[in-house]
Structure 1
Amino acid sequence: MQGRTQPRQPFWASVLRLPLFLLLIGVFSAAMLVPAVYGGIVRDLVAARAFLYAGLLGLVTFALIGLAHAGRDPRHGTLGPLLSLMSAFTILPVILAVPFYEGLRTTTFLNAYVEMVSAITTTGATMFDNPDRLNGTLHLWRSIVGWLGGLMMWVAASAILAPLNLGGFEVTARAEPGRSASRDIGMTAPEVRERLAKVSAVLIPIYAGLTMLLWVLLAAGGDAGLVALCHAMAILATSGISPVGGLGGGGSGMAGEAVMLLFMLFALSRLTFSTDTTTAESGGLVQDPEFRIGVAVVIAVPVFLFLRHFLGAFDVAAESDVADAARALWGSAFTVLSFLTTTGFASANWVDAQAWSGLETPGLLLMGLALIGGGVATTAGGVKLLRVFALYRNGVREMERLVHPSSVSSAGPRARRLQKDGAFIAWIFFMLFALTLALITILLTLTGVAFDTALVLAVSGLSTTGPLLGVATDAPIALIELNNAAKAIFTAAMVLGRLETLAIIALFTPDLWRG
């Protein structure tokens, strides 16, 4: 009788033993039941059936494959979880596009696929400029995919990217990108499962709770229930997905924007919601360089725009009304923070600011803000504020050495967050980002896209800021009018921007797979 009985593992422990990509299929398949229920409530039966059937099929497939993998640990190298994350941005959207395509029935599957890649990477660029073309069920699905994509990056930042010193952590780590700082911290299957369980248990309640709170506040401010929910999910995920074409179509007004601004601060630094990574070793939020730089940009740029607008209004002899000036300043502040966090929501007063001044604010400024991006290990894209801080500190130090060549650095506690070669690694990433931007722009122009349009498309994809397509140029860029080659290149740009170039290079490094 000895050895016949073995302790049964809990259900969740058995589920976590499954491959990461299979877990994601199960999660997103279960999420399809939400728009299925909503479609049934609002009597949108065509879309409801599409999501119900796709969700049940996905869950059945998940269960069958899960049974086949029962009792077996997934075998993969050090970068196996990173490969699963890349598959989530490239292969998983094929599954997500099926109910969207069947529910809409008036578009191609390629358009549906690009729409889902845009949502799961939290880019928020849409193929359908007219929001009325999509019903509430499809808008809800886009928002859910974007919200889950943001949550996936929240969890992956601590459980996958941080141990591999990628995603911005390479600036603070003491090991090469793609490698662990210590031999004791690896990426074996049990360690990955343990980290995923711990990080998920901490972050999922925070993420869901903040979304629910913002949803209630926006609904109380005057937004319709669906609009408030979609905007709340878009703010937390920095996806910029809206069922009404932006904040101007909502009903919460400036009060709703004020609440959104507070919640967008979570994308400036991970310390605003968690201390589960090594980035917490900087003396708290007040001393956090990312948060300080972000706040400085949000204050300085709107003041500059306000003064520019004020001088423009004075030159054209416009009426200098205090209320108009206040709305212009608010519209600038909200829009600057929105694009800095790569959310991409333009304030309803952003147009008023331009009309009050009589001047057009160039879209190049918003593109620059999106390229800077938000904090490391947040849902924001872009170069990231920590890398900008590393380059800034290095520049200041080099100027000090010009005056005092033998001086010793006394950067203070904030600079201890950076490793010795942090600025060098940040510069490498910046150059890779610039080269990728140039390459994507060139490839888009080769497909027949105009250069200015190609540049905006490249910046929008690599910074995961889809709403740039509607505000960065004189006329909005219609993705649906691009040819298939241009759509494919833009899709690749969104994946590169979300996963980052260093992670892609690590995936193609044979030595790291053997590590």
Structure 2
Amino acid sequence: MHFRIILRVLGLLLMVFSVAMLPPAGLSLWYDDGAFYSFAWSFVFILAAGLLLWLPVLRNRDELRTREGFLITGLFWVVLGTAGSLPLYLSTDAALSYTDAFFESFSGLTTTGATVMTGIQDLPESIRFYRQQLQWMGGMGIIVLAVAILPMLGVGGMQLYRAEMSGPMKDNKLAPRIAETAKALWLIYVGLTAAAGLGYWLAGMSPFDAVGHAFSTVAIGGFSTHDASIGHFNSGAIEFIAIVFMLLAAANFGLHFVAFRTRRPGQYLRDPEYRFFLLLIFGLMGVTTLSLWATTSETGWQALRIGAFEATSIMTTTGYASTGFAHFPLFLPFLLFMASFMGGSAGSTAGGMKSIRILLLWKQGVREVKRLIHPNGVFPIKVGRTEVPDRVLSAVWGYFSVYVFVFLVLLIAMLATGLDFVTSWSAVGAAMNNLGPGLGAVASNYASIPDASKWLLCFGMLMGRLEIFTLIIIMSPMFWRR
């Protein structure tokens, strides 16, 4: 293990991250909201920490290998969660304990959207903006951003890209060089953010709210500048725009690249994974709408508006709320929450197990039924016209098995902290799926749960963000053997 290259990369990335303190610091001066020194001191501390790591190994030219890439990826999220918590902890207006500051920071960076903060609309504008910015930075993975920057600093990025972008389709590159791939992804990401911000502004949001919600919508994060989330605006137009951009952000960003390059929007419907995702999410909208219409006093239009928005928000793992799905009648809260386990497409900013894995599990189940009927038959599994190798199917089953095992371990640990079953089950699911809101005591925020539970959930967020295997690899004894 080349620890010098690890220190060098972490130092460089911390110095890059320190720049994130400057926009909210400038905003604090503009609004004169009293939070300037929280960001100024955080900038100094993070930059100094990066320099202390980087300077002793400045001249090191060791090659970054796959093992170091996995370790850097895992360490970087922990280090960034710590660095990102500084302005929240130093702010007297936020008044957070260190556990709460780290939880809020980590939830933002992993785009989980679980919050411990209340009275958000009364906080300084710079703090409110910073929370949204954290999600925007985490949305496409700060590691992918670093991949675009590190080659210019003399550090390759392929190993980092593979560790961050896990999933069945992770080896597909949009451009021959990894830096070009990362830049293409970020151009698409920035373009979608700008379009979402413009749409929100035209629909009636203030420029501040429009930018903040564009950040968290495209990142599929769910943080809002108001306690009532999107429901604060009580606008069908704003909710419609949110639905459109949540659906776009839940698509594989490689699909956006191909559709833009070929100028053929029909590419979205030709993609088997995204077609499968749209089929399920529109079905979920229909079931939610009909159930609300039949069991509540909502009119047909109101039921459609609420049902479509909440179904999209939860299944894409965004976590926005217009009314709060936890209070829906009958089976709806559990149905919607279970939908978040699938999430969006691989290569998107969504959480969950990803649509392609669920599609492959379904096809594998259908094949096993056919084999029972025709034991000597050969039934290849295809996604579109492409046959899926058995190695990929084995990897999907392995991921699913490990996911269930980790979920059960965290669930038992959460129950051991004294929480009830519904709260524990939904909190673990919301963390591992990077969803945010849960059921029970965590339906609106996580402020009331014990500190031990919050640290467990941070671990679950990291597992979900790195899609489990990256962290499992780092924790295995085999990884550390020579």
TM-score (norm 1): 0.80
1:255 aligned counterpart, secondary structure: helix
Displacement of 1:63 in angstroms is 4.8
Give yes or no for contact 1:217–1:259 (8 Å, CA) kept in 2.
Answer: yes
Greater Rg, structure 1 or structure 2? 1
| Residue of structure 1 equivalent to 2:154 | none
SS of 2:141's partner is helix
**Superposition misfits of 4+ residues, deviation over 6 angstroms:** none
Does the aligned pair in 2 maintain the 1:461–1:490 contact within 8 Å?
yes
Structure 2: 5+ residue runs without aligned partners? 148-156, 260-265
Q: What is the DSSP-based 3-state SS (H/G/I as helix, E as strand, rest coil) of the residue aligned with 1:238?
A: coil
- Answering whether residue 367 of structure 2 is matched by residue 397 of structure 1, we say yes
Q: Please name the residue that 2:97 is paired with.
A: 108
CA distance, structure 2, for counterparts of residue 493 and residue 305 of structure 1: 28
Shift of residue 481, structure 1, vs aligned partner: 2.1
* Aligned mate of 1:505, from 455, 467, 472: 472
Q: Match for residue 426 of structure 2?
A: 456
| One-letter code aligned to 2:415 | T
CA distance in 2, matches of 1:57, 1:286: 48
**Does the alignment pair 1:371 with 2:353?**
no
AA matched with 1:138: I
Provide the rounded CA distance (Å) in 2 between the counterparts of 1:261 and 1:36.
Answer: 31
- Paired amino acid for 1:274: F
1:240 to 195, 217, 222: 222
Alignment match, 2:352 = 382
Check whether the contact 2:463–2:471 (CA below 8 A) recurs between aligned residues. yes
Task: Measure, in 2, the Cα distance between the counterparts of 1:25 and 1:126.
Answer: 24
Aligned pair partner of 2:120 in 114, 118, 131: 131
In structure 2, distance between residues paired with 1:398 and 1:161: 37
Provide the C-alpha distance between the structure 2 equivalents of 1:474 and 1:92, rounded to a whole number of angstroms.
28
Q: Amino acid of the residue matched to residue 284 of structure 2?
A: V
Contact 1:83 1:507 in 2 (8 A): yes
| Counterpart code for 1:376 | A
| Letter of the structure 1 residue corresponding to residue 281 of structure 2 | V
The residue type paired with residue 329 of structure 1 is L
Secondary structure, aligned partner of 1:274: helix
- Offset at residue 235 of structure 1 (A): 0.8
Of residues 85-94 and 381-390 in structure 1, the stretch that sits farther from structure 2 once superposed is 85-94
SS in 2 for 1:382: coil
Partner of 1:20: 9
SS in 2 for 1:464: coil
Distance in 2 of aligned mates of 1:501 and 1:256: 35
Q: For 2:447, what is the secondary structure of its paired residue?
A: helix
Between 1:160-169 and 1:125-134, the stretch displaced more is 160-169
- Work out whether 1:295 is the aligned partner of 2:283: no
Query: Does 2:457 match 1:487?
Result: no
Cα-Cα RMSD: 3.2
Change (3 A) 1:17 1:421: closer
Q: Quick one: distance in 2 between partners of 1:233 and 1:335?
A: 19
Residues 429-448 of structure 1, C-alpha deviations (whole Å, 9 max, x = no match): 11211111111111011111
2:110–2:135: 8 Å Cα contact kept in structure 1? Answer: yes
Q: Are 1:254 and 2:243 an aligned pair?
A: no
* Structure-1 separation of matches of 2:445 and 2:245: 30
- Alpha-carbon displacement from aligned partner over 1:375-404 (angstroms, at most 9, x marks no partner): 112211111111101111111212222333
Separation (CA, whole Å) in 2 of partners of 1:142 and 1:165? 22
8 Å contact kept, 1:341–1:374: yes
| Cα deviation, residue 196, structure 1 | 5.1
Offset, 1:138? 1.0
Counterpart residue identity of residue 395, structure 2 = I
Instruction: Identify the match of residue 41 of structure 2 among 40, 44, 53.
Output: 53
Corresponding position of 1:209:
191
- In 1, Cα distance between the equivalents of 2:70 and 2:442? 38
Contact 2:74–2:470 at 8 Å: present in 1 too? no
- Quickly say closer, same or farther: Cα 1:336–1:476, change in 2 above 3 A: closer
In structure 2, how many angstroms separate the alpha carbons of the residues matched to 1:160 and 1:417? 27
The correspondence for 2:301, drawn from 326, 332, 335, is: 326
CA deviation vs aligned residue, 1:143-199 (integer Å, no higher than 9, x gap): 111111113268289944764697212xx58xxxxxx99xxx9xxxxxxxx955323
The answer for the alignment partner of 1:280 in structure 2 is none
Secondary structure of the equivalent of 2:66? coil
User: What is the CA distance between 1:66 and its match in structure 2?
Assistant: 4.2
Hey, what does 1:422 align to over in structure 2?
392
In the alignment, the residues of structure 2 paired with residue 475 and residue 465 of structure 1 have an alpha-carbon distance, to the nearest angstrom, of: 12
Amino acid at match of 1:268: A
Question: 1:134 and 1:361 mapped to 2: Cα distance?
Answer: 36
2:136 is aligned, of 139, 147, 158, to 147
Q: Deviation per CA, 1:456-502: give whole Å up to 9, x if none.
A: 11111111111x23xx3388364222222122111111111111221
Q: Name the SS for the 1:373 alignment partner.
A: coil
**Structure 2: distance between partners of 1:465 and 1:326:** 27
Q: 1:197 to 1:19 in 2, by over 3 A?
A: farther
Equivalence map 1:88-237=2 (5 Å): 88-104=76-92, 106-132=95-121, 134-152=123-141, 155=144, 159-160=158-159, 163=162, 167-169=166-168, 197-237=179-219
The 2-side partners of 1:77 and 1:411 are apart by: 34
Asked if the contact 1:121/1:498 (under 8 Å) is kept, the reply is yes
Q: Number of aligned residue pairs: give it.
A: 457
Tell me, which stretches of 5 or more residues in structure 1 are unaligned? 1-15, 174-179, 186-193, 277-282
The one-letter amino acid of 1:345's match is: Y
What letter corresponds to residue 319 of structure 2 in structure 1?
G
